[in-house]
Amino acid sequence: MRPTNQTKKMVYGIVIVALLVAMVPATARVNRIKVEKDLGEAAIGQIDSGSFMMKLFLLGGFRGIVANYLWIQAEDHKKNHDWDRLKATVDLITKLQPHFLSIWTFQGWNLAYNVSVEWDAPEDKYDWIKQGIKFVQEGVRNNQRSPDLIWDTAWFYYHKLGFSDESIILRRLFRDDEDEGFKTYYDPEERRDVVRNDNFQLGYGWFSRAVSLVDEGGARVGGGTSSDITYIDPTPQRKGRADDIAFRSMPAHAQTHYAAALEKMSIAGVEATFGEVAKNEWAKALREWIKFGQHKFMSHNVVLRDGEYVKDEVYLDDATNPEKFKTLPENAQYWTDRWASQMNYRYWKERAQAEMTSEGVAARQSFYEGTKAYKTGDFATAAEKFREGLAIWDENLKGFPTYRDDDLSRKDTGLVVKRYVRVLRQLGEPVPDVFPFKDLLAAAEADNTVDPFDAIEMLGVGAGEVSSAPPPSQPRASDAPATRPGG
Amino acid sequence: MPAFLIPPLLWAQAETASPPASQAAQNALLWLYLAGDTSVAIPGLLGALLTWAKIIGLVALVGWVGSWVVTAVKERFVGVGRWYDYLGLLALALIPLTVFVQVIQTEGWIKPVTIAGLPLPSLMSYVAVLSLATWALVGVWKTIGPFGRPADKLTLVGMALALALGVGAGVGMIQLGMFHRLPDMPEMSWRDGVVHGTRLGVTFMGYVVLARVLSLLVGELFAVRARRLSAIARVTLYESNRKMWAPWVVLIVFGMVLAFTHWFLQPPRAAEMGRLYVGTLTLLCSLLLTAMVTILTPISLPTDIQQQTIYTVVTKPVRRLEVVWGRMLGYMALVTVLVALFGGISLTYLWRTVMGEITRIEALSDRARSDGREREANQYSEQAEQLRSRMAARVPVKGSLSFLDSKGDPHAMGIDVGQEQSMKEPRSHIEGATPAAAIWRYGMVPDPFSPPNRPVILDRRIDVSQFLPLGTVEGEENRVFEIQAQLAALEREKSQPDLTPSRSSQLDASIARWKGDLDKARASFEAVSARAAELEEAGDEAGAEALHAPPLRIEMTFNIYRTTKGEVGKPVYADIELTNEAAGSKFQDVFPVREYYTNRLLIQPSVLVGCMGSLRIDVRCMSPTQYLGMAESDLYLLADNGDFGWNYMKGLFGIWLQAMVLTAIGVFAGTFLSWPVALLTTIAFFIAGQLAFGFLIDFTRQAVLGGGPFESLIRLVTHDNQMSELAPTAGVVVAKTLDSLVMPIMSMLVYIVPNFQVLDVTNTVADGFAVGWRHMLGNTLLALAYALPFSIAGYFILKNREVAA
């Protein structure tokens, strides 16, 4: 007998229900794996419906092909200098592959570095760096367990904004940016989200976040399913491996740069800050360095000890503690010394120690004020400030021989000495036979470089903002009609 | 015979006539050559039409012969084992064999063989072509007798004559030595003439068949009635509406996507928001409409035939052409309504979001300014300004660009700094603080790329009345200048010594007339300027301004190439100088260049007064060691800002044209294929024309690296790169043979697949430039050139198909 229409419908209905029921355990299993691998959209408290819809309904199995096509198109847009279409295309790719870390890293870098450099005006560069940073931050939101992307975010704040040729202006733009979300980070000491106006502080916050995520055991080795796949050439986790010393030093670096930047006009048109604020920030820098120095690293090699092959524990801070250093086994001494030198740990720690003192800050303030007076032609004040500053600085550095003899420090102080001597000559006063740091004079005289991260050096005192007046054009015989105000 | 592919040489040859032939004969042969050789195309509308006719003619020829041969096979006139059928078989075997021999010769398996002075492959191909032609001829001959009308027999005679004409022309060209004295040309024999003449002849045969087809069509065309067309269109409309719910589905998807744009499109930088949104919206319209048309059109006819509803139509006195065109009309009516709806909705949407964004950015700018954040404030207002300028339909007036290098020597291009960039219109650079300059010239100017001894003159005159309207001070003053120039020209002519008396009196009259005009123009100029001065004195600034021409607007987009960082945060400066040589006025200014932004300059309009349409604009880079990059389109006078909404609809019209071509293809495919195959065919046409047209062109030019499909397959499988020579193994030789068989056929696709990309003008709209009427007219003609043949081919197929037998 042929089944009637009614029977057919019933059979179909039963099959549909059965399939739905069968899907329940499968879904549960898939959800569990999603959470394990940090691939779940719901795991992060929000569902990106656009991305989800696009993947599920519109593309299905064509996702890979479309993503490939978009990658090619993105490169074409880059070649044709169509930056905004590049950004739009890249955004689309991330909708398709939100858990593919390389897209965030690669294209975030592309936007913040490669695209921004193509634009001439610092405002536009800033716009693109911001787009790049926000892009990797979006990646962090999609991949909460990846230290790599957090580290990238921190690096863009720290390096791209802080170490570009236009840093003094970029940092000013960052300071003036009204977008508070862009200036927020989780402060590990205050244990809350804070809004800060200096990109080095943001760098510090995000570096700290990456480090603490690694400490909590967060790791995303390659893609989400890689444990089920045997790669011939596996992608290693780039940042936060157990022996990644440089990775752990970054919060301290960012904090140190912040403290140092406070004591000069490192933001165009913004005066330097001294006093308790500066002291506190240097103290914080010291804390960070000590924290880094007290982290346990394991030596790379193994030694035979008590019949067992063991690795030695290495603490970089021991390099600054001769008593303890002597008690270490030879192998540990070797690695402690090697890594401390590699990271220049002694210098950084001593620098923070020397700068955080009241004398250190006072000397820096004298140098700053002296330089301003020097640049504005007030030589009497300049001489006074330099003399005063050099004396305090000399006294202060007596306890910090490593810092005193460091090349960077010598260059810094040498510049002050050079200017002090010049000021004296201008005033017609004799150069004293003996004064602190006079030994640095010869080297400083031969050095003509200026500090690119100091607006006073680059743009002059008071020229916080660059004048936008055009240069005088050559006089021309011209019977030109008068210009109306252009626009 | 590579020289046949070099028409310029041929032209040059034609100029120096060879002694024995008369000029008329040479010209006739030249025209026969141009009309017959498919590989040459002359520029301009006439050339386009000629190429179109050649292709259509050849398609008609293949179709006509094919249909007769098919009938012959069906009626068992051929393919029954007679002597001529063996010829057909021989041709079938010889064609691949010929290609194979050719390939193994080039691969070096065998030495080139020559028989009676002819290379072996050529000989084989002649035999193959002759056998095939004989077989087809016998088939057509035998069928046309009982089945054909007198006109068909006439066509056959015409074809024979056309072939004879072609061969005659080919031989004639050799005999008259038209290729004779070309450099590096091997001695040509009469045989080459015959071969080439046959190629011409085939094209001429195509024309004959085309004429026959047109004669068949004329009657049908006159029988078409608007009433029946509209009835079928209406039915089609109802069908797509009721059965498929097509317009509703498309509208709902459009609305859905629009409502959730932020999911797919992150808010970009404000300056480019308009461009991105316009681009995305037009892409969406295009995707939805073409998808709808692609699905609807090929399904409708086959379903009707399958469900036998076609009976109710074809048993009525409805012409088959009406069935095809009515359907197209119906679909296009639907597309028109949807385009209008999409246009309205997306314009409202754009207006709301983009204008909202402009207001928001301007508010931010004001706040930043009041907080003393100058840099941010400027950045915001600049972005708002950029956004505003993109939401317009700017009409640029472009000059001709040439360069002076750093030593001041003239060049057609500037310095290539080695930057990777779009090669559509690459920018070249000038060095800062040197005599290097980029010069835009307006007027009748020599093309900088033409050789100096034979300059090609470009017409880049400025329509001054566009910028200086009559009734304004500057407009009237310009009129005075123009009349003076006219008078001067007349006076000059009059002072010529060999003037005839009649011409002299004519000139006197004109001079007197122009003098009268001059007085009037002077009077009105004085009146307007006095009035303007009066108003200005009275303090009525607005009134005085209304009497002046609007300021001249120049827009520029330069790029900057820095060799050193320069002073941090300091822009690169450019110097611009406008010279009106005719009236001797000048304007000069210095401005900071903002890279990737449209730099604007407002200039007193009086600089144009008396320029007679010519102007010279010099741009120099002022900052030492820096470079400024520009292409011709990077500087223009802005004639009009235009209306964005209207321009947007013009952009959508391009999509409408795409839909029209696609409809024609869909209906055409539906006339002879079952609906799934018809659907796939239409999709294939769309993808080939939209995404792969560039590839098709490369393919036809044999410019694809790595060989044809079969050779590529071998490279794919063996991981060989595209450049390396493949070892001539058996597999490679077979692959190359197959490629040589397939590639010529696939190359033909470029003539048949419509170039959908070129119909799409939405990029121009998104960039904020007006789409010109000439451009639109050209695109319409192009779309018709594709749509008409497809629909007519559909008609002939439907006519000969036994849909309701």
Residues in chain A: 487
Provide the shortest C-alpha distance from residue A336 to chain B (in Å): 41
- The per-residue pLDDT of chain A, averaged, comes to 85
B689-to-A329, B400, B662, B685 alpha-carbon distances in Å:
75, 33, 10, 6
Contact indicator for A392, A363 with CB cutoff of 8 Å = yes
Across the interface, of B263, B575, B601, the residue whose CB is closest to A486 is B601
Determine the residue of chain A that is closest to B423 in CA distance: A80
Q: What is the pLDDT of residues A21-74, one digit of tens each?
A: 988 888 888 878 777 766 655 444 455 555 666 665 566 677 888 888 899 999
List chain B residues with CB under 8 Å of A484: 551, 602-604
Contact A54 B590 (CB under 8 A): no
Q: Please report the pLDDT score of residue A485 as a whole number.
A: 37
Q: Please report the pLDDT score of residue B162 as a whole number.
A: 93
Residue A373 or residue A45, greater confidence = A373
Distance (Å, rounded) from C-alpha B553 to C-alpha B600?
Answer: 7
Residue A36 or residue A389, greater confidence = A389
List chain B residues with CB under 8 Å of A268: 569
Determine the residue of chain A that is closest to B365 in CA distance: A178
Contact indicator for A151, A240 with CB cutoff of 8 Å = yes
Please state the rounded mean pLDDT for residues B290-308.
Answer: 87
Q: Please report the pLDDT score of residue A42 as a whole number.
A: 45
H helix and E strand count, chain B: 27, 16
Please state the rounded mean pLDDT for residues B479-489.
Answer: 92
Please say if the pLDDT value at position B498 is more than 50: yes
Distance (Å, rounded) from C-alpha B363 to C-alpha B370?
Answer: 11
Q: What is the pLDDT of residues B121-146, one digit of tens each?
A: 888 988 999 999 999 999 898 888 88
List chain A residues with CB under 8 Å of B630: none
Please state the rounded mean pLDDT for residues B159-183.
Answer: 80
Contact indicator for B197, B169 with CB cutoff of 8 Å = yes
Contact A79 B265 (CB under 8 A): no
Contact indicator for B247, B337 with CB cutoff of 8 Å = yes
Q: What is the pLDDT of residues A161-201, one digit of tens each?
A: 999 989 999 999 999 888 899 999 998 888 899 999 999 99
Residue partners of B494: CB distance under 8 A and separation at least 6: B504, B507, B508, B511
Contact indicator for B197, B176 with CB cutoff of 8 Å = no
Provide the shortest C-alpha distance from residue B331 to chain A (in Å): 26
Contact B602 A176 (CB under 8 A): no
Contact B585 A169 (CB under 8 A): no
Q: What is the pLDDT of residues B218-274, one digit of tens each?
A: 988 998 899 999 999 998 888 888 877 888 889 998 988 888 777 777 767 888 888
List chain B residues with CB under 8 Å of A481: 585, 587, 603-604, 606-607
Please say if the pLDDT value at position B597 is more than 70: yes
Contact indicator for B19, B198 with CB cutoff of 8 Å = no
Provide the shortest C-alpha distance from residue B599 to chain A (in Å): 8
Across the interface, of B421, B587, B590, the residue whose CB is closest to A480 is B587
Q: What does DSSP say about strands B599-603 and B428-431: parallel, antiparallel, or unpaired? A: unpaired
Residue type, position A110, single letter? N
Q: Please report the pLDDT score of residue B405 as a whole number.
A: 93
Contact indicator for B198, B4 with CB cutoff of 8 Å = no
Task: Give all strands of the β-sheet with B626-630 in edge-to-edge order.
Answer: B428-431, B626-630, B559-562
Q: What is the pLDDT of residues B726-782, one digit of tens each?
A: 888 888 889 989 998 888 888 888 888 999 989 999 999 999 999 999 999 999 999
Please say if the pLDDT value at position B374 is more than 60: yes
- The per-residue pLDDT of chain B, averaged, comes to 87
- Residues of chain B with pLDDT > 70, as a percent, come to 95
**Interface pTM (ipTM) of the complex?**
0.81
Task: Name the token pair of B384.
Answer: 């708002």
Provide the shortest C-alpha distance from residue A74 to chain B (in Å): 14
Determine the residue of chain A that is closest to B375 in CA distance: A123
Please say if the pLDDT value at position B320 is more than 50: yes
Distance (Å, rounded) from C-alpha B660 to C-alpha B332?
Answer: 7
Contact B421 A122 (CB under 8 A): no
Q: Which H or E element spans position B93?
A: helix B83-106
Q: What share of chain B is helix, strand, coil (3-state, %, to 5)?
A: 65, 10, 25
Q: What is the pLDDT of residues B525-578, one digit of tens each?
A: 999 999 999 998 888 888 888 899 999 999 999 999 999 888 888 899 999 999
Q: What is the pLDDT of residues B182-213, one digit of tens each?
A: 555 566 677 788 888 898 999 999 999 999 99
Across the interface, of B421, B588, B595, the residue whose CB is closest to A80 is B421
Q: What is the pLDDT of residues B92-113, one digit of tens each?
A: 999 999 999 988 888 888 888 8
Q: Please report the pLDDT score of residue A60 as a whole number.
A: 67
Residue type, position A227, single letter? S
Residue B13 pLDDT class (50, 70, 90 cuts): very low
Q: Please report the pLDDT score of residue A171 as a whole number.
A: 94
Closest by CA to B271, choosing from B388, B368, B154, is B388
Q: What is the pLDDT of residues A198-257, one digit of tens each?
A: 999 999 999 999 999 888 876 665 444 445 556 555 555 667 777 788 999 999 999 999
- Residues of chain A with pLDDT > 90, as a percent, come to 53
Contact A468 B376 (CB under 8 A): no
Task: Name the token pair of B499.
Answer: 């003037």
Across the interface, of B573, B589, B604, the residue whose CB is closest to A471 is B573
Across the interface, of B376, B562, B589, the residue whose CB is closest to A483 is B589
CA angle B146, B148, B151 (to 5 degrees): 140
Distance (Å, rounded) from C-alpha A128 to C-alpha A173?
Answer: 12
Q: Please report the pLDDT score of residue B149 as a whole number.
A: 87
Distance (Å, rounded) from C-alpha A421 to C-alpha A444?
Answer: 11
Q: Please report the pLDDT score of residue A225 as a whole number.
A: 47
Q: Please report the pLDDT score of residue B561 as a whole number.
A: 92
Residue A393 pLDDT class (50, 70, 90 cuts): very high
Contact B586 A484 (CB under 8 A): no
Q: Please report the pLDDT score of residue A44 as a whole number.
A: 45
Q: Please report the pLDDT score of residue B802 as a whole number.
A: 72
- Residues of chain B with pLDDT > 90, as a percent, come to 44
Please state the rounded mean pLDDT for residues B38-64.
Answer: 87
Q: What is the pLDDT of residues B404-426, one digit of tens each?
A: 999 999 999 999 998 888 878 88
Please say if the pLDDT value at position B6 is more than 50: no
CA angle A420, A425, A426 (to 5 degrees): 95
Contact A119 B272 (CB under 8 A): no
Contact indicator for B666, B298 with CB cutoff of 8 Å = yes
Distance (Å, rounded) from C-alpha B779 to C-alpha B551?
Answer: 34
Q: Please report the pLDDT score of residue A43 as a whole number.
A: 42
Q: Please report the pLDDT score of residue B83 as a whole number.
A: 86
Q: Please report the pLDDT score of residue B8 as a whole number.
A: 41
Please state the rounded mean pLDDT for residues B501-515.
Answer: 89
Contact A79 B551 (CB under 8 A): no
Q: Please report the pLDDT score of residue B580 as a whole number.
A: 93
